[in-house]
Structure 1
């Protein structure tokens, strides 16, 4: 277990939080995956404990990210409300059923699906000119994404962002809207964690991840507005494929 009580010891966590939020703010996914992996592999935390810490951090980082995306005009209001209610319902259901349902059983299949989506987005970005169109399937994505995020320790960004991009929605609007809805989703899921864990879990790693994530949040929104659609599709495809493949590998080997 790493002691993260001094400024010097906090620096690695600040760096991880900064990098993870830059990726998440610009591409709409991966903060939870990056931070969870770091906490489990470097600190030896259990996945459940790591997920609790990351959700607490995300309550603050998603708020700053949401404000930044709104200021940069990256949020589609109609899409926001179509995702908001189903997402919260899914999050509440996932949190409620977590103690009775083994979410790990379905996780490898979800991750395998996301690998396929990642490869599709990568190929689409490389070979085809981007075409923007209105999404047809939104509410079910919000429900499923919210449920998986609560019950499986992550999944909102990869599930919702990737599928909206597949449907042809403008990437910066997808990223901005999904990140903004995520604040309300994370706030709902994190309420129980904060009540049960108290302020002691804000020491060490959580503080470092929080500092790095909050500082990086405005930069992610800035990048999402200016990165070309084709480049964003390629980057999302790579990030989604790599992180999902790694997650599926870990889930299969136990």
Structure 2
């Protein structure tokens, strides 16, 4: 009985909260994290703790490549970026924390844009945003406080290898099936948020691809999942900051700088290159990098 009442109250809350309210929540949360990071950057410069060496330019390159891919495909930022950071030797928990922190600045803008152009299925949004955030919180806590980074790194590489192979499969599979009722969306989002936080990427490939495979409209699938991703990313980052603090801020700054530079280039690439070709290139890159990481760890 109590469970039924809780569900009823949640449904009433969903009815009262409009997409305009969601937009203002996104703006408010972005302002909070922006002010916090401005404070950290000022402190870092005053204490002279930043390391602007050759690795910093590597982080800019990683952010550029990942955002270029994401801008052209609408997915695979986390998978691409995390694979590159692991290749640079960054521990898994710091790689995932850095990727999620930098994503806050891109997913927020993306979400607001989708709200503006009404690309969102409101019912589906609440189904995946809530459980996806819960999964992300759990995944971030497991990665940052319980799981051994060195021990789990090969398994994360295996996970990323699987995603890379799936991207290759997605590039050459048949078109989506006819539309039908979406099944198990909350559970799908929970798993997507969990694995995204632990592996540093996968929310888009897991959730968007599954919705499309069930016949969900592409415009609403991408818009809804991208908007929900802001909350998944935000709460995962909050856990990382609470447990780990903010370390390796130069990684985050590098990813953001590279992403900002790549954003307009990604839009141009999206209009020029065949998406199947680009998705194939991404899949091959992720497979090669992940395979090399697995080889180093186990052989």
Fold-level similarity (TM above 0.5): yes
Greater C-alpha radius of gyration? 2
1:54 and 2:99 correspond: yes
Partner of 2:170: 121
- Partner SS, residue 125 of structure 2: helix
C-alpha deviation, 1:196, in angstroms: 5.2
1:242 and 2:284 correspond: yes
C-alpha deviation, 1:115, in angstroms: 4.8
1:33 corresponds to which of 66, 73, 79: 79
C-alpha deviation, 1:133, in angstroms: 1.6
- Partner SS, residue 200 of structure 2: coil
The answer (yes or no) to whether the contact 1:60–1:214 under 8 Å persists in 2 is: no
Mapping 1:29-178, distance limit 5 Å: 29-42=75-88, 44-98=89-143, 99-100=145-146, 107=156, 110-111=159-160, 113-115=162-164, 117-124=166-173, 128=174, 133-134=179-180, 135-178=182-225
The count of residues paired between Structure 1 and Structure 2 equals 242
Q: Which consecutive unaligned segments of at least 5 residues does structure 1 have?
A: none
Cα gap change, 1:97/1:47 in structure 2, threshold over 3 Å: closer, same or farther? closer
Partner of 1:183: 230
Cα gap change, 1:45/1:251 in structure 2, threshold over 3 Å: closer, same or farther? closer
- Quote the Cα distance in structure 1 between the aligned partners of 2:90 and 2:166: 30
Q: Which consecutive unaligned segments of at least 5 residues does structure 2 have?
A: 1-49
Q: TM-score, normalised by structure 2?
A: 0.64
- Partner SS, residue 177 of structure 1: helix
C-alpha deviation, 1:150, in angstroms: 1.8
C-alpha deviation, 1:148, in angstroms: 0.6
The answer (yes or no) to whether the contact 1:72–1:221 under 8 Å persists in 2 is: no
C-alpha deviation, 1:84, in angstroms: 0.8
Partner of 2:4: none
- Quote the Cα distance in structure 2 between the aligned partners of 1:172 and 1:222: 19
Partner of 1:252: 294
Q: TM-score, normalised by structure 1?
A: 0.73
- Quote the Cα distance in structure 2 between the aligned partners of 1:142 and 1:19: 26
The root-mean-square deviation of aligned C-alpha atoms, in Å, is: 3.7
